């Protein structure tokens, strides 16, 4: 008789031994770390606070969802442009925005959490179809596209924001090496842990090139000045929210674009977990997809918790889901351990200083790829939902969102459109116009059908 091969893996309610628990937790931290830290760098938030907020929000998310959904909460790229419209209105020092501006952005982030919570309550009470009537893919897809494309200027500015001439040429060399290496790692590293950290590997490649280029040219691309005079242990810099309606208008609507992404992640997780359960000959089915309402509520509360202490807005991370699917490790306790370890790590100041030493050219090279992916995800949403570009109603909504969002982002300072004596954030305005157009079409269709 052939010996049956043992299926290795952990279901959400299963727990590895302590040493494996710590090892698996560090793996989850590694895959979320580059993107979460990069959001802090680009928005001017404190890195240590962002890391701490990520861990705290994850822990709260897991407890709020009654330890039934194994997901990790990290800073979302979708909010970068909106947050920067608040934090970039003044000059930064040492790579960090003034507390007053971070506080205003925090208020908008907290309020954005209400959007996800409201969506979650609606799904819990009714269904996802109710949400899709208000936020169809013809709205969420184009909004994701303009979020990504509106950041294109920021990506290139990180590269060219150096002295002209030879130094700028060298900055482009560093950026292009970073971009190409990140792409190659993403495309060709498919298996194992290495395949889950292409962003980190690309960043390290660019960092090493920047050190070499700086040593040869004599220009200091990598700056270690922030390492001097710091103690090893430092409490994360906590800032308090400051009421700002400008921040609410700019940041709150962005939560609209993260709902489809969060929904897709949950459905992926449901498939992976139940497939492992079947492989292990288990009789229990994990109806994770049925917890969509609680997932959205947890996402919203995560934003409010993160925003309350000085962290950016976020969502559950696809990188962590991919890692879980490859390793077949869906243990909720592993993610809880990762959250706790992340919070501990945030107290080590040399780590934050090392992050601030990353050259702008390296960040710019990474951003070209990452920001483009955000825009591409918007296209993917419309393809997945089979949006017809031959339908005049769909075309009207998509066209209006794209032009208002992109035109406003690139034609006006800070992406603020002057209208009726006030200034409105381009992305938020585009999203609102798209929602209103969709509702008008829904009402008109009902009137037309009622007359027949």
- Give the residue extent of every domain in the chain: 18-226+234-447
Instruction: Assess contact for 152 and 405: CB atoms under 8 A.
Output: no
pLDDT of residue 337: 94
pTM above 0.75, yes or no: no
CA distance 289 to 306: 25
CA distance 19 to 22: 5
Tokens of 236: 């994360």
Is residue 14 packed enough to be buried (19+ CB in 10 Å), middle (13-18) or exposed (0-12)? middle
Helical spans, DSSP H, in 5-46: 18-43
pLDDT in tens, the chain (452 residues): 444 556 677 888 888 888 888 888 887 887 787 778 888 988 999 988 999 999 999 999 999 999 999 999 988 877 888 898 899 888 887 778 999 999 999 999 999 999 999 989 988 888 767 777 877 889 888 888 887 888 788 788 888 876 667 788 899 999 999 999 988 988 887 665 566 567 778 888 999 999 999 888 888 888 776 555 667 888 899 999 999 998 998 888 888 777 777 776 787 788 888 888 888 776 778 888 788 889 999 999 999 999 999 999 988 876 677 677 767 788 999 999 999 999 998 898 777 677 777 888 888 888 888 788 878 878 887 887 788 989 999 999 999 999 999 998 888 876 778 888 777 778 878 888 998 999 999 899 888 877 76
pLDDT of residue 6: 63
Q: How far is CA 38 from the centre of its chain?
A: 10
Is residue 134 packed enough to be buried (19+ CB in 10 Å), middle (13-18) or exposed (0-12)? middle
Instruction: Assess contact for 353 and 95: CB atoms under 8 A.
Output: no
Instruction: Assess contact for 202 and 181: CB atoms under 8 A.
Output: yes
Enclosing H/E stretch for 422:
strand 422-425
Enclosing H/E stretch for 75:
strand 73-75
């Amino acid at each position: 008789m052939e010996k049956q091969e043992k299926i290795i893996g952990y279901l959400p309610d299963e727990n590895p031994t302590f040493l494996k628990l710590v090892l698996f937790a560090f793996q989850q931290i590694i895959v979320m770390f580059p993107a979460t830290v990069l959001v802090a760098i680009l928005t001017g938030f404190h890195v240590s606070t962002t890391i701490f907020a990520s861990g705290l929000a994850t822990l709260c998310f897991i407890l709020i969802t009654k330890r039934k959904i194994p997901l990790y909460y990290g800073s979302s790229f979708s909010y970068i442009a909106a947050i920067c419209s608040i934090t970039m209105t003044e000059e930064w020092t040492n790579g960090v925005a003034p507390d007053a501006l971070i506080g205003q952005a925090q208020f908008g982030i907290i309020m954005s959490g209400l959007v996800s919570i409201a969506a979650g309550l609606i799904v819990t009470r009714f269904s996802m179809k109710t949400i899709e009537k208000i936020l169809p893919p013809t709205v969420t897809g184009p909004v994701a596209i303009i979020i990504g494309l509106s950041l294109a200027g920021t990506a290139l500015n990180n590269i060219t924001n150096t002295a002209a001439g030879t130094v700028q040429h060298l900055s482009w060399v560093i950026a292009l090496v970073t971009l190409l290496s990140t792409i190659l790692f993403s495309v060709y590293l498919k298996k194992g842990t290495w395949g889950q950290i292409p962003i980190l590997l690309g960043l390290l490649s660019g960092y090493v090139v920047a050190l070499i280029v700086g040593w040869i040219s004599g220009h200091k691309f990598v700056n270690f000045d922030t390492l001097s005079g710091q103690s090893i242990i430092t409490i994360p810099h906590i800032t308090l929210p400051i009421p700002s309606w400008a921040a609410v208008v700019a940041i709150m609507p962005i939560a609209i674009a993260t709902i489809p992404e969060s929904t897709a992640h949950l459905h992926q997780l449901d498939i992976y977990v139940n497939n492992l359960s079947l492989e292990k000959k288990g009789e229990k089915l994990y109806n994770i997809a049925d917890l969509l309402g609680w997932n959205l509520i947890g996402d919203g509360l995560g934003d409010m918790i993160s925003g309350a202490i000085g962290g950016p807005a976020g969502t559950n991370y696809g990188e962590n889901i991919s890692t879980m699917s490859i390793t077949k490790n869906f243990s909720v306790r592993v993610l809880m351990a990762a959250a706790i370890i992340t919070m501990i790590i945030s107290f080590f100041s040399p780590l934050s200083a090392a992050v601030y030493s990353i050259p702008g050219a390296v960040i710019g090279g990474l951003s070209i790829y990452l920001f483009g992916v955000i825009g591409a995800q918007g296209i993917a949403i419309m393809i997945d939902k089979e949006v017809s570009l031959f339908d005049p109603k769909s075309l009207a909504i998509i066209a209006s969102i794209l032009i208002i969002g992109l035109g406003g982002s690139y034609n006006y300072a800070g992406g603020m459109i002057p209208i009726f004596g006030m200034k409105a954030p381009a992305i938020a305005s585009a999203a609102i116009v798209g929602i209103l157009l969709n509702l008008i079409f829904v009402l008109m269709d009902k009137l037309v059908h009622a007359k027949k």
